[in-house]
Amino acid sequence: MSEITDQYDIVLFDGVCNLCNRAVDFIIQHDPRNNFKLASLQDDLSKKLLKDKNLNESYLDSIVLLRRDKVYYKSRAALEIAKRLKGLWPLFYIFIIIPPFLRDPLYDWIARNRYKWFGKRETCRFPTEEDKMKFLSEEDFESK
């Protein structure tokens, strides 16, 4: 299953988190080259990918970026994603110079409070017809 990460950068996100879903909308808008495939962390495909990478479901509190043989999470994932978006967003990658022990506590604080501040959906996001190609599907694995 890891071959899929050779073809796409895969963003795994909390599918019931309103903040996370807004971030997904943002990625969709700013990814005209289709660098990314998206999937909810609650999705079975995401769980298979995490298992394939020997990761557990504790990553539900973080955005996860799977790129080839690498796994990025928390602030590093956000910065790596920004680096590949169109417009001025790649400039945010400059914050990579701030060590993770300083960046990640801020990320963790926001993650801990995301439901309280931004709300939570009852069910995971279901892609619209126009966004469907941006989301990971069984067909992505079958095309290998």
Would you place residue 143 in the very low, low, confident or very high pLDDT band (cuts 50, 70, 90)? low
Is 30 among the domain residues?
Answer: yes
User: How far apart are the C-alpha atoms of 107 and 103, rounded to whole Å?
Assistant: 7
Would you place residue 105 in the very low, low, confident or very high pLDDT band (cuts 50, 70, 90)? very high
Rounded to a whole number of angstroms, the CA Rg of the chain reads 15
Is 91 among the domain residues?
Answer: yes
pLDDT tens-place string over residues 51-92? 888 877 666 688 999 998 899 999 999 999 999 999 999 999
Containing structural domain, residue 66: 4-137
Per-residue pLDDT at 59: 63
Domain count across the chain: 1
Is 29 among the domain residues?
Answer: yes
Is 97 among the domain residues?
Answer: yes
**What tokens appear for 81 in the block?**
């994603």
Is 60 among the domain residues?
Answer: yes
Would you place residue 93 in the very low, low, confident or very high pLDDT band (cuts 50, 70, 90)? very high
Is 142 among the domain residues?
Answer: no
pLDDT tens-place string over residues 2-46? 577 778 899 999 999 999 999 999 999 999 889 999 999 888 888
- Sort 109 into a burial class: Cβ within 10 Å, 0-12 / 13-18 / 19+: exposed
**What tokens appear for 123 in the block?**
């069910």
pLDDT score of 119 more than 80: yes
Is 111 among the domain residues?
Answer: yes
The pairing of beta strand 70-73 with beta strand 36-40 = unpaired
Which stretches does DSSP call E strand in 1-144?
9-13, 36-40, 64-67, 70-73
User: How many Cα atoms sit within 13 Å of 2 on the Cβ side?
Assistant: 11
Q: At what angle do helices 74-83 and 100-118 cross, to 10 degrees?
A: 90
Is 144 among the domain residues?
Answer: no
The residue with tokens 């080839």 is 68
